[in-house]
């Protein structure tokens, strides 16, 4: 074997990396076990508050290779929501409201008609909404000018009356994209403040949607309100440290008295303030007090800070320092000085102590110490201190009349990142006329003082005012990076236009279902692995044992690579691993079957090994490339569980290729070197698949008729059933998993719910266990509001009232809006078509004949339709499974498996054509099919056994997936033999110069 040393070194490196990244999961789990032990009382109950307190106490402590617990948690192999419970949400930023706002809420009838028409078009289109709006407006008013509607004060400088429609649409597209970015940043900040462990938030590129995953959520209603609330941007006056210092002295005295009286128990933390290398208070370059607010350069005023403004900022900072110093001198070891710490621009506190401080300042007694127009807010950006601790600044805000902010975000016309005269990043901001007047008054009354920019009750910046700002144009300068300036500009624009978000897809999984899914996933994985291991040893003897070692490496690599990518392991991901176990065997089967063929020629073992690996290589490569292509398409177009499955499948394909082709060869050659011989057969397999003869072409027409018959029957059954049994993913609606103390007939529950759901399409079926039901309804599917969610849930609970004695409990829920359901249908169809097209092109490239591509693709289409048809037939007989995203994942996986099988046969046909250039394809087909028959059956059998195990042990979530896989494996094996290859023969025109099949077979031997 060439490059053997390189393979061994690479294996060692990859193994070490996988072990390193997987170690984070073991360390994190060890810490969690200690926290759970610490929080467990004598009765065995775990106190979650006490457990979280333990984890908080070690979050900043180095515990492994200099890394803190928090850093280790960020690098561990996480579990998906379906395995640990939590909430999955997809939000959509409404472009309709943004366009309305940019138009100044225009009442132009054609404008309103165009908006309504664009919303209709969006249901069946993947085009951006802005383009659909432009198309609709052009359709309704062909000669109309959008500038007539959008040329207003809010869009000054961007859209003029002379702007073309295309220019207006470009501006609208930019604003919509900015609004999505703003929403993303605001939601990310809100989620960070929510206190969820390992949240995941990401933009779904190409859409106006944001996907959020929140593990361990136990209050979904609070999350919904948090995510869908409008951004609240405000500008506030700030109390100077000299002004609030006396009140803090009083507070310190009060807290010390309370602690002495035993009414307050706060341990002294001795917080370490952020310091620099010299041990002095660190100068945080973008600290709020170092930011300067000035007249914008466009008004011919200096945009750079002057000495007076800087001196004022430094004075405020010094005063803040003296506040804590005076407290410390007057009251040694006081409660207040243990909670607060000196910050470069004022005072602040350790992030861990903010909840404690909030409780103190929210008490009635403490509120009585401070003036009624003083309130306190935290800075949004943590600042690093010693020992990996995080600190946030504390601001005293001056309330306006009636407790309202002097100015809100509605006054902001525009904000953008710019550069000042010295080339430093700054933010340019303009106000509307009404806001400009209020801004002039606010800045005029606060020259030399700070004005806080507050979003959702967190201070993003508090620049010092240089002078009264008139005209509404301002600039905020300081030691910003470009990214920080861009973020602040986005924050300032958050209040300019309403960009409400709405939940278009949601899933809530209870922790009990998550633990159950973990158990089912482990059982199915271990059972699948055991079946494959036993089968390979029983069939291939010592060669099978080597294949099993390679399989073990494969699983180890998959988990290690997932950990390196910071991916989460989901239930569909586990299905991907189980499936990879079955498909990884194929490469070893191909190699070992080649070796057995070569051994019949009486070659020495060394040559048998070399020829077995060399001849199988191209076939294995083709098979893996086509399956990887399907996985890539699944990942690109899928979402949620489908994307997790696709990631695992693609990783599994790469690792299985490496382990089966290279690592197994190292083991095989070492075993041969030590023993001098090697067996690839047992008494079971030695005589199997010998002397097989059958004529595929003879049975091709009956096979065509059989397939057409099943497909026709299936689609007639679908018609009788009223269409395919689409899941919530594809038709929109809401579904709930409800558990009762004992089994109840699903039909009775459906009858009980009929009136409450107003006779809307409702389905109730047993789910996983006899006492568990899945309720799916399309009632209010078009209404994606929180109010509709609550209304449907209330109707469900009302309908279940007659079963209250059985204690019905909602274990999980999911929602898919009608719009996103249409999109999921479209992307599923696109994914199918692209998979077929990609495979067609690849096969044609590799085999140089379009007939091979045509035969392969028709066979794949046959397999996909066969799964749908059989599902419809089963539905006709009362065995009902939904067609959803996971079902589509199964269909596309079968496409990958089936083309894998077909490519193996095609590869052998091509080989025989090269060895017998004058032979007709018709004469080559049968010998090729017979020579690959053992491989076809063995691979299909191992995969079939794996998916059968998945069907019985993988849980209800994957039951439809595994049933589709069972049907697909049978259909794929059948189509590879009786559909794909005969179509190649039927479509190739060739001269009648036959070479006898026996002669071809002799050549093959």
Q: What is the pLDDT of residue 485?
A: 83
User: If you write DSSP's letter for every residue of 568-628 in order, what string do you get?
Assistant: EE-HHHHHHHHHHHHHHHHHHHHHHHHHHHHHTTT--HHHHHHHHHHHHHHHHHHHHHHHH
When pLDDT is cut at 50, 70 and 90, the band that residue 196 belongs to is low
How far apart CA 652 and CA 628 sit, in angstroms, is: 9
Query: What would the pLDDT profile of 971-990 be if each residue is shown by its tens digit?
Result: 989 998 889 888 888 888 75
Q: What's 527's domain CATH number?
A: 1.20.1640.10
Coil, strand or helix: which one is 810? strand
Contact present, 296 and 468 (Cβ < 8 Å): no
Q: Which of 455, 470, 497 is the last residue of a domain?
A: 497
Residue 11 within a domain: yes
User: If you write DSSP's letter for every residue of 267-320 in order, what string do you get?
Assistant: --------B-TTSSBP--TT-GGG-EEEE-GGGTS--SPPHHHHHHHHHHHHHH
Q: What CA–CA distances, in Å, run from 313 to 208, 340, 341, 661, 953?
A: 41, 21, 19, 67, 66
Contact present, 708 and 774 (Cβ < 8 Å): no
Q: List, in order, residues 6 or more apart from 968 with CB less than 8 Å away.
A: 863, 866, 867, 890, 891, 893, 894, 897, 898
**β pairing state of 464-465 and 233-238:** unpaired
Query: What would the pLDDT profile of 36-68 be if each residue is shown by its tens digit?
Result: 888 888 777 777 667 777 777 777 677 877 787
Q: What is the pLDDT of residue 511?
A: 64
Most confident of 476-485, 798-807, 809-818, 840-849: 798-807
Residue 826 within a domain: yes
Tell me which of 145-149, 192-196, 428-432 is least confident. 192-196
Query: What would the pLDDT profile of 538-562 be if each residue is shown by its tens digit?
Result: 888 888 888 888 888 988 999 888 8
- As given in the structure block, the two tokens for residue 709 are 């018959």
Tell me which of 225-234, 617-626, 877-886 is least confident. 225-234
Q: What CA–CA distances, in Å, run from 651 to 335, 838, 925, 929, 958?
A: 54, 19, 34, 30, 20
Coil, strand or helix: which one is 685? coil
Question: How much is the CA Rg of the chain, to the nearest whole Å?
Answer: 34
Contact present, 591 and 935 (Cβ < 8 Å): no
Query: What would the pLDDT profile of 899-931 be if each residue is shown by its tens digit?
Result: 877 888 888 888 888 887 777 777 788 888 888
Q: List, in order, residues 6 or more apart from 47 with CB less than 8 Å away.
A: 39, 40, 41
Q: Which of 198, 217, 252 is the last residue of a domain?
A: 198
Residue 844 within a domain: yes
Per-residue pLDDT, averaged over 743-759, amounts to 82
Same domain, 798 and 915: no
Chain mean position to CA 711: 36
Q: What is the pLDDT of residue 62?
A: 77
Q: What is the pLDDT of residue 289?
A: 42
How far apart CA 163 and CA 159 sit, in angstroms, is: 6
3-state secondary structure 128-169: CHHHHHHHHHHHHCCCCCCHHHHCCHHHCCCCCCCCCHHHHH
Residue 855 within a domain: yes
Q: What is the pLDDT of residue 158?
A: 85
The DSSP element (H or E) to which 375 belongs, if any, is: strand 374-379
How far apart CA 706 and CA 105 sit, in angstroms, is: 62
Total domains, the chain: 5
Coil, strand or helix: which one is 221? helix
Query: What would the pLDDT profile of 233-290 be if each residue is shown by its tens digit?
Result: 889 999 887 888 888 888 888 888 888 877 766 554 444 444 433 333 333 333 334 5
- As given in the structure block, the two tokens for residue 653 are 């394909």
Q: Is the pLDDT of residue 623 over 60?
A: yes
Tell me which of 20-29, 84-93, 675-684, 786-795 is least confident. 675-684
Per-residue pLDDT, averaged over 840-853, amounts to 83
User: If you write DSSP's letter for every residue of 928-957 in order, what string do you get?
Assistant: HHHHTHHHHHHHHHHHHHHHHHHHHHS-GG
Per-residue pLDDT, averaged over 724-747, amounts to 83
User: Rounded to 5 degrees, what angle do the CA atoms 48, 50, 53 make?
Assistant: 110
Contact present, 140 and 114 (Cβ < 8 Å): yes
Q: List, in order, residues 6 or more apart from 136 with CB less than 8 Å away.
A: 113, 114, 115, 117, 118, 121
Q: What is the pLDDT of residue 706?
A: 93
Per-residue pLDDT, averaged over 965-974, amounts to 90
Query: What would the pLDDT profile of 936-963 be if each residue is shown by its tens digit?
Result: 888 888 888 888 888 888 777 778 888 9
Higher pLDDT, 702 or 574: 702
Same domain, 687 and 545: yes
Residue 861: what are its φ and ψ, rounded to 5°?
-65, -40
**Widest Cα–Cα separation across the chain:** 110
Same domain, 940 and 854: yes
Same domain, 593 and 701: yes
Residue 533 within a domain: yes
Query: What would the pLDDT profile of 445-461 be if each residue is shown by its tens digit?
Result: 888 889 998 887 888 88
Q: Which residues are paired to 715 by β-bridges?
A: none
Same domain, 307 and 427: yes
When pLDDT is cut at 50, 70 and 90, the band that residue 387 belongs to is low
Place of tokens 């004529």: 695
Q: Is the pLDDT of residue 1004 over 70?
A: no
Per-residue pLDDT, averaged over 470-488, amounts to 82
How far apart CA 850 and CA 932 sit, in angstroms, is: 22
How far apart CA 878 and CA 715 sit, in angstroms, is: 16
Q: What is the pLDDT of residue 639?
A: 64
Q: List, in order, residues 6 or more apart from 782 with CB less than 8 Å away.
A: 732, 817, 818
Q: What's 744's domain CATH number?
A: 3.30.70.3400
Q: Is the pLDDT of residue 372 over 60?
A: yes
How far apart CA 11 and CA 552 sit, in angstroms, is: 13
How far apart CA 447 and CA 819 sit, in angstroms, is: 51
Q: What is the pLDDT of residue 990?
A: 58
- As given in the structure block, the two tokens for residue 306 are 């002057």
Query: What would the pLDDT profile of 282-337 be if each residue is shown by its tens digit?
Result: 333 333 345 777 765 433 233 333 322 322 333 344 444 455 555 444 444 577 77
**Total residues belonging to the chain:** 1005
- As given in the structure block, the two tokens for residue 428 are 């340019």
Per-residue pLDDT, averaged over 69-86, amounts to 76
Same domain, 594 and 692: yes
- Other C-beta atoms lying within 10 Å of the C-beta of residue 552: 13
User: If you write DSSP's letter for every residue of 484-519 in order, what string do you get?
Assistant: HHHHHHHHHHTTTS---EEEEEEEEE-HHHHHHHHH
Higher pLDDT, 165 or 919: 165
Q: Is the pLDDT of residue 711 over 90?
A: yes
How far apart CA 627 and CA 903 sit, in angstroms, is: 11
Per-residue pLDDT, averaged over 592-609, amounts to 81
Average pLDDT, the chain: 78
Same domain, 169 and 246: no
Q: Which domain holds residue 757?
A: 733-816
Q: Which of 186, 197, 185, 196 is nearest to 223 (CA)?
A: 196
Residue 213 within a domain: no
Contact present, 346 and 320 (Cβ < 8 Å): yes
How far apart CA 286 and CA 307 sit, in angstroms, is: 18
Contact present, 204 and 210 (Cβ < 8 Å): yes
Same domain, 463 and 327: yes
Q: Which of 474, 465, 469, 460 is nearest to 427 (CA)?
A: 474
How far apart CA 139 and CA 134 sit, in angstroms, is: 9
User: Rounded to 5 degrees, what angle do the CA atoms 739, 743, 745 make?
Assistant: 105
Q: Which of 816, 841, 871 is the last residue of a domain?
A: 816
Same domain, 189 and 41: no
Higher pLDDT, 783 or 168: 168
Residue 227 within a domain: no
Higher pLDDT, 191 or 739: 739
Same domain, 769 and 840: no
Tell me the whole-structure pTM to 2 decimals.
0.67
Q: What is the pLDDT of residue 319?
A: 44
The DSSP element (H or E) to which 412 belongs, if any, is: strand 412-419
Q: What is the pLDDT of residue 714?
A: 92
When pLDDT is cut at 50, 70 and 90, the band that residue 709 belongs to is very high
When pLDDT is cut at 50, 70 and 90, the band that residue 529 belongs to is confident
Same domain, 774 and 841: no
- As given in the structure block, the two tokens for residue 199 are 């949240």
Residue 256 within a domain: yes
Q: What is the pLDDT of residue 194?
A: 64
Q: What is the pLDDT of residue 325?
A: 55
Same domain, 991 and 863: yes
Contact present, 205 and 640 (Cβ < 8 Å): no
């Amino acid at each position: 074997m060439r490059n053997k040393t390189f393979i061994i070194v690479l294996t060692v490196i990859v193994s070490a990396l996988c072990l390193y990244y997987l170690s984070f999961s073991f360390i994190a789990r060890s810490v969690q076990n200690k926290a759970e032990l610490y929080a467990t009382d004598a009765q065995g109950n775990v106190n979650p508050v006490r457990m979280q307190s333990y984890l908080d106490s070690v979050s900043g402590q180095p515990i492994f290779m200099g890394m803190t617990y928090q850093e280790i948690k960020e690098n561990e192999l996480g579990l998906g929501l379906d395995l640990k419970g939590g909430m999955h949400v997809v939000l959509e930023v409404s472009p309709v409201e943004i366009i309305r706002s940019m138009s100044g809420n225009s009442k132009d009838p054609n404008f309103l008609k165009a908006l309504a028409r664009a919303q209709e078009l969006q249901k069946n289109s993947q085009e951006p909404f802005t383009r659909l709006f432009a198309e609709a407006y052009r359709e309704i008013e062909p000669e109309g000018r959008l500038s007539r509607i959008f040329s207003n004060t809010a869009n000054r400088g961007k859209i003029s009356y002379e702007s073309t429609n295309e220019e207006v649409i470009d501006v609208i597209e930019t604003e919509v994209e900015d609004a999505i970015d703003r929403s993303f940043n605001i939601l990310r900040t809100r989620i960070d403040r929510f206190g969820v462990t390992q949240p995941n938030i990401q933009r779904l590129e190409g859409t106006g949607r944001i996907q959020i995953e929140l593990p361990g959520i136990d209050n979904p209603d609070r999350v919904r309100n948090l995510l869908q609330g409008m951004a609240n941007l405000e500008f506030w006056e700030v109390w100077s440290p000299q002004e609030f210092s006396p009140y803090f002295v009083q507070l310190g005295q009060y807290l010390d008295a309370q602690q002495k009286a035993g009414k307050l128990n706060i341990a002294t933390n001795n917080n370490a303030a952020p310091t620099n290398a010299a041990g002095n208070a660190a100068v945080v370059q973008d600290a709020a007090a170092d930011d300067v607010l000035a007249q914008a350069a466009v008004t011919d005023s200096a945009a750079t800070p002057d000495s007076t403004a800087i001196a004022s900022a430094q004075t405020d900072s010094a005063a803040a320092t003296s506040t804590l110093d005076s407290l410390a001198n007057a009251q040694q070891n006081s409660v207040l000085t243990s909670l607060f710490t000196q910050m470069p621009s004022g005072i602040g506190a350790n992030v861990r102590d903010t909840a404690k401080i909030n409780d103190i300042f929210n008490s009635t007694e403490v509120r009585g110490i401070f003036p009624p127009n003083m309130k306190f807010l935290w800075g949004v950006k943590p600042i690093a201190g010693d020992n990996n601790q995080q600190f946030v600044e504390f601001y005293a805000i001056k309330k306006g009349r009636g407790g309202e902010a002097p100015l809100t975000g509605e006054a902001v016309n525009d904000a953008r990142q710019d550069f000042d005269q010295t080339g430093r990043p700054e933010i340019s901001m303009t106000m509307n006329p009404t806001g400009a007047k209020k801004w002039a008054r606010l800045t005029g009354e606060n020259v030399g003082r700070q004005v806080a920019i507050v979003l959702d009750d967190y201070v993003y910046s508090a620049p010092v005012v240089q002078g009264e700002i008139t005209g509404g144009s301002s600039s905020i300068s300081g030691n910003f990076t470009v990214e920080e300036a861009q973020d602040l500009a986005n924050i300032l624009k958050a209040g300019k236009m309403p960009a409400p978000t709405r939940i278009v897809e949601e899933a809530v999984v209870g922790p009990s279902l998550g633990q159950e899914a973990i158990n089912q996933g482990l059982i199915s994985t271990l059972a699948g692995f055991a079946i494959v291991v036993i089968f390979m040893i029983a069939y291939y003897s010592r060669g099978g044992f080597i294949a099993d070692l390679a399989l073990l490496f494969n699983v180890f690599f998959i988990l290690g690579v997932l950990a390196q990518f910071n991916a989460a392991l989901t239930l569909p991901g586990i299905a991907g691993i189980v499936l990879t176990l079955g498909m990884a065997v194929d490469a070893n089967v191909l190699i070992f079957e080649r070796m057995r063929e070569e051994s019949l020629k009486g070659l020495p073992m060394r040559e048998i090994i070399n020829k077995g690996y060399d001849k199988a290589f191209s076939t294995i490569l083709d098979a893996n490339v086509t399956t990887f292509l399907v996985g890539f398409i699944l990942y690109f177009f899928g979402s949620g569980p489908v994307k997790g499955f696709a990631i695992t499948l693609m990783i599994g394909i790469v690792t299985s290729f490496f382990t089966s082709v290279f690592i197994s060869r190292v083991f095989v050659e070492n075993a041969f070197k030590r023993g001098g011989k090697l067996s690839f057969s047992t008494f079971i397999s030695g005589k199997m698949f010998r002397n097989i003869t059958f004529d595929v072409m003879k049975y091709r027409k009956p096979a065509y008729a059989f397939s057409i018959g099943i497909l026709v029957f299936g689609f007639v059954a679908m018609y009788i059933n009223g269409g395919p049994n689409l899941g919530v993913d594809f038709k929109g609606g809401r579904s709930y998993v409800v558990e009762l103390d004992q089994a109840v007939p699903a039909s009775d529950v459906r009858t009980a719910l009929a009136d409450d759901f107003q006779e809307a399409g409702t389905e109730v079926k047993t789910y996983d266990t006899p006492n568990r039901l899945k309720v799916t309804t399309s009632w209010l599917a078009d209404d994606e509001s929180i109010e509709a969610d609550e209304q449907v849930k209330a109707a469900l609970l009302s309908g279940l009232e007659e079963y209250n004695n059985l204690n019905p409990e909602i274990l999980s829920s999911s929602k898919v809006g009608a719009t996103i359901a249409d999109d999921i249908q479209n992307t599923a169809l696109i994914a199918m078509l692209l998979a077929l097209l990609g495979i067609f092109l690849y096969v044609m490239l590799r085999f140089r004949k379009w007939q091979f591509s045509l035969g392969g693709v028709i066979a794949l289409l046959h397999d996909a339709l066969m799964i749908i048809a059989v599902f419809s037939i089963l539905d006709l007989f009362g065995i009902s499974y939904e067609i959803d995203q996971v079902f589509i994942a199964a269909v596309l996986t079968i496409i990958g498996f089936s083309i894998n099988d077909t490519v193996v046969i095609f590869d052998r046909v091509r080989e025989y054509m090269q060895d017998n250039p004058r032979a007709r394809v018709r004469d080559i087909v049968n010998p090729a099919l017979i020579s690959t028959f053992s491989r076809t059956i063995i691979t299909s059998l191992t995969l079939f056994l794996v998916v059968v195990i998945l069907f019985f042990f993988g849980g209800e979530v994957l039951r439809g997936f595994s049933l589709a896989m069972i049907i697909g494996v049978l259909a794929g094996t059948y189509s590879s033999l009786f559909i794909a290859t005969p179509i190649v023969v039927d479509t190739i025109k060739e001269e009648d110069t036959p070479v006898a099949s026996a002669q071809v077979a002799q050549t093959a031997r």
